Amino acid sequence: MQHPQRLFNRRSVGSLAVIALLASLATACGGSEEPDAEDTALKFDATKFTTVNVTVDGVAVKVRQYRIVYVAKPIKMATTQYALPGTSTITLPDPYAYQSMIVSVPENSVSDTKTAIYALVNNSGWWASPVATTITEGKSFVSTSDTDNIGAALKAGYVVANIGTRSRGGARAEDTRWSGKAPAPVVDVKAAVRYLRLNDSLMPGSAERIVLTGTSGGGGLTAAAAASGNSADYLSFLADVGAAGVSGAGASARSTIKDDVFAAVAYCPINNLGNADAGYEWEYNAIRNNSNTAALNGVAYLSGPQPAASAAYAAGFPAYLNSLGLTREDGTPLTAANLRDTTTAHLKKELERQIAKGTTLPALGENFTVVQRGNSRTLPNDWLTLTGTGTTATVASIDYTKFLQFVSTLTPLKTVVAFDAVGVTGNPNISGETNLFGSDTATYANFTEWAWANNSVKGDGSGIDDTGLNWSAYLASNTNNLATQLKLINPLAYLNTPADTAPYWYVRHGMIDRDTAYAMQTVLYYAIKKDPSVKDADFKLPYMVGHAGNYDVQEAFAWIKAKLNANP
For residue 106, is pLDDT > 60? yes
Is 170's pLDDT higher than 80? Answer: no
Sign of CA dihedral 394, 558, 134, 228: negative
User: At 12, is the pLDDT very low, low, confident or very high (cuts 50, 70, 90)?
Assistant: very low
Give the mean pLDDT of the chain: 92
Give the SS3 label for residue 430. coil
- Sequence-distant (6+) residues with CB within 8 A of 16 are none
* Chain centroid to CA 151: 22
Query: Residue 248 is which amino acid?
Result: G
Give the separation between CA 197 and CA 557, rounded to whole angstroms: 23
Residue 156 to residue 188: CA distance in whole angstroms = 27
Predicted confidence at residue 6, as pLDDT, reads 29
Q: Which pLDDT belongs to residue 87? A: 67
Distance CA(384)–CA(368), nearest Å, equals 10
Find, among 162, 161, 163, 180, the residue nearest to 81 by Cα.
180
Residue 495 scores a pLDDT above 80: yes
Q: What is the pLDDT of residue 35?
A: 67
Average pLDDT (421-438) is 86
Question: Among 83-92, 226-235, 248-257, whose mean pLDDT is lowest?
Answer: 83-92
Query: Which architecture does CATH list for 50-270+490-565?
Result: 3-Layer(aba) Sandwich (3.40)
User: DSSP states of 148-190 as a string?
Assistant: -HHHHHHHTT-EEEEE-B--BSS-BBTTS-BTT-TTHHHHHHH
28 — pLDDT class (breaks 50, 70, 90): very low
Higher pLDDT, 160 or 33: 160
Q: Are 125 and 216 in contact (CB under 8 A)?
A: yes
pLDDT digits (tens, 9 = 90+) for 246-301: 999 999 999 999 999 999 999 999 999 999 999 999 999 999 999 999 999 899 99
What pLDDT, on a 0 to 100 scale, did the predictor assign at position 93? 87
Q: What local confidence, expressed as pLDDT, does residue 390 receive? A: 82
Residue 389 has pLDDT above 90, yes or no: no
Name 62's bridge partners. 53
Calculate what percentage of the chain has a pLDDT beyond 90: 87
| pLDDT of 14 above 60 | no
399 versus 10: which is more confidently predicted?
399
pLDDT of residue 19: 33
β-bridge mates for residue 105, sequence order: 64
d(CA 124, CA 128): 8
pLDDT at 17: 36
Global pTM value: 0.93
- CA–CA distance, 202 with 196 (Å, rounded to integer): 9
pLDDT band at 427 (very low <50, low <70, confident <90, very high): confident
Model confidence at 442, in pLDDT bands (50, 70, 90)? very high
User: Above 90 in pLDDT, residue 65?
Assistant: yes
Cβ(114)–Cβ(68) under 8 Å? no
How far is the C-alpha of 188 from the C-alpha of 385, rounded, in Å? 47
Give the integer Cα–Cα distance in Å for 156 and 147: 15
Q: Are 98 and 131 in contact (CB under 8 A)?
A: yes
Q: Burial code of 356-374, b = ≥16 C-beta within 10 A, e = fewer? A: eeeeebeeeeeebebeeee
Top-confidence residue, 517 or 170: 517
Q: How confident is the model over 132-152, as a mean pLDDT?
A: 98
Confidence class for position 29, pLDDT limits 50, 70, 90: very low
Q: What is d(CA 511, CA 546) in angstroms, rounded to the nearest whole number?
A: 7
Q: Does 123 score more than 70 pLDDT?
A: yes
**Per-residue pLDDT tens over the stretch 463-483:** 999 999 999 999 999 999 999
Dihedral, 16, 20, 23, 25 alpha carbons, nearest 10 = -130
The reported pLDDT for the residue numbered 30 is 37
Q: What is the Cα–Cα distance from 516 to 223, expressed in whole angstroms?
A: 15
Overall average pLDDT of the 547-555 stretch: 98
- Provide the angle, in degrees to the nearest 10, between the axes of the packed helices 306-323 and 518-530: 10
Geometric angle at alpha carbon 162, from 439 and 97, rounded to 5°:
50
Residue 84 predicted with pLDDT over 80 = no
Supply the pLDDT for residue 430: 65
Residue 138: pLDDT over 70: yes
Mean pLDDT of 46-66: 98
Q: Which phi and psi angles does 141 have, rounded to 5°?
A: -125, 155
Q: What is the pLDDT of residues 322-336, one digit of tens each?
A: 999 999 999 999 999
Query: What would the mean pLDDT of 363-377 be, rounded to a whole number?
Result: 91
